A and B are shown apart, each in its own frame.
Chain A
């Protein structure tokens, strides 16, 4: 029976193909946008999760309190210092610590100047180990920086090869950093993170000389002993550091975050952004629904006589209702199905472009089966709901009057 309804609905849609296509555009675009946004949002979430899985949930991060969303160490009022590292090392529950410097720097290469970030690698072996682990540092070319290196630099993959400068940076290239010459001894393997892939890496002592910094760190990472609760340890350290600095609770000039909290913050931001975007895209679905409703009202009016005929030959009100609902549902679902295809294509294209620009690790569009199924179901339901009022109008027509309609 239901497939007869589909057949009848299809016979009508086939009869007005242009109108059918035009009607579907709203749903088509809406679903395409929603699918693309959700799959890219999910892809970003996956990327964040995987970055954090190498970083590990057993870390806490200490920074000077920053004014806003700026990168750590930049807009900070307070400073973290070598003294703080000493304090951390002695704190219970901490296994390893490492401090890093992060500063904007202008790089002169073959008489071209670009601004990027310089990032330090620790001189201390243990600290170096920890940084290497949490950042999965590997040299794509040349070698890794090591203790005692002077006036040597490693460059991020994108800085070397992605035409930040007109020429690729090679091993042995000379770079001028704030007028000091550095020799390139290695290229970092791709992180898939635009910021780190464009950075320049120096040993800590070089960096301290370069920026004339004695004790301060931009960020200090600490790894917890196994089985420790990150938040609890963070609280203890916060109190200890506050006491050390003679700062009242709530008035500290530094910040301690656990890696879990950072992950949660990023996830929340991402979710809010994608919810807002998806919400905007969903408006187009609403417009699409109204389009279907309009088309169905027209169809009901045009087919008044036909409704009379069908009733005369035995169609019950429910049959008429079903025929029109199936028809509007089909409009919705076909539009939705095509929208899924376009949305998939859009997010795959975005993924491709992102891979070209930042390497394959940053963004992989994720199109799970439930997104496809959900989008299909949603477009069918949107179509069907949009058809309810017109279909009810059709179903409740009086047979004698409908038959006389010209």
Chain B
């Protein structure tokens, strides 16, 4: 069924709301990437089967009259680590670590008797938390972009519409001019969430001002930062919010075609976006003359093929054209000559997902969230050595310590916090001294880091920061497209030096050389990849210089991660001469007489640590 005007759309919305109300109880099985990995599809099927057996299952379809229970797949519900997650409305009961075996109990107790299954709930000390708002991880957040992600069926457009979806598009297309929209977005001071923080409204006005018959809207869903999954979660948890933002964008800059570029590692996002596009076309929210406004727009989905650099705007548009994704010299900028040489409005997933909210509630409201110069919220993926890993969203300007300790629950295994990497391989690390730092574009820039896409990887005291710098350099070096010399050659040299340092072959001069190379590369590379490639090295050198010094001067790795810098010795006082270590040694580096202390030949030793494991007396020590 197709809606041709706003009256028909409103009728559909009323019917969708009614259908949703007919579901007296709604079960949301988290089907984000994490929970799917933990087996949530199986739980979804099982719940559906059991409820259907009882004759209680109803879907949100417009003609349905009877009341019953809805079982739905939702996007990421946040606390991935405790997955699979299941939420039951209207009670808002939040269940964790649900197993297929638990389905019967959930149905009997919660769906039939309205009772919570407490053993599946979150325990905070001795308190059992029934609903998300009782859990600190959730209560400290402000979920705007992720608000519906986890609360609606991510595969059903009717549910998005029932919850007010596409009303912003209706308002924009029928009550506003393109200029008014660009103006509203400018006033909201929405800044691009893809890393750079460029004001979206300014970009939109620039595209609108271009004199060209053909223009494009491109959504950047490449999310190349390893260790970040916010954009993926928005795309697979609430795909229609991205489409709606793009439709509004298309109207605002007079484009009639949009593309979403999704990284290939996100098959779920690709599938759900594809489904969402089909559903939107079917109902007439994509296609010709949307809602009778005279505006036509359609969206295509492109799958990346595994190149980090394709997140860069000019490389991305090249890749959509079927070429090697290599950045080009700017200007001309993407707003002037982007996809197929035409003016292109290219924004990040999260940027687009903010748009419907701003159109509906106004710039004024948007600016009331977060600080003056970076309003709104930001989604972060918090991972690494932290108790609560998962997907979060907080107002811009939230302090680092609130994110890591209040929401993240602090460092796991009782270890101490050491650093957090923000902005992935293009970003920098923040340390203990930055705990009071507000997370927003400008504050981070001041300390040499960047918000980047929003990946927060927390590292504990056992992490070697030199090794981390090597890890990131290895990543960017591999991902360098090779077009410009500073990046192609420079990252390689920097990597070689870092490899030397962790292998115990570094010198003091190496540190100077790293700094010099970093300086040259960041000021001469062609694109953002090269320009920011040295950032992890610079920031670790700045905050953890003594760790570098330990590696190059004392030839020691303080955290004992760099195996080349440690050696194993047998403590004679503890060794009973049982010979277990010698038997375990794959390099025959350990010799000795039974019942006398054994010795390790360090020239033969490959530092695998097998002897440490084998020794029953803890006599093998790493020094």
Does A associate with B in a complex? no
Q: Footprint of B on A, CB under 8 Å?
A: none
Q: Footprint of A on B, CB under 8 Å?
A: none
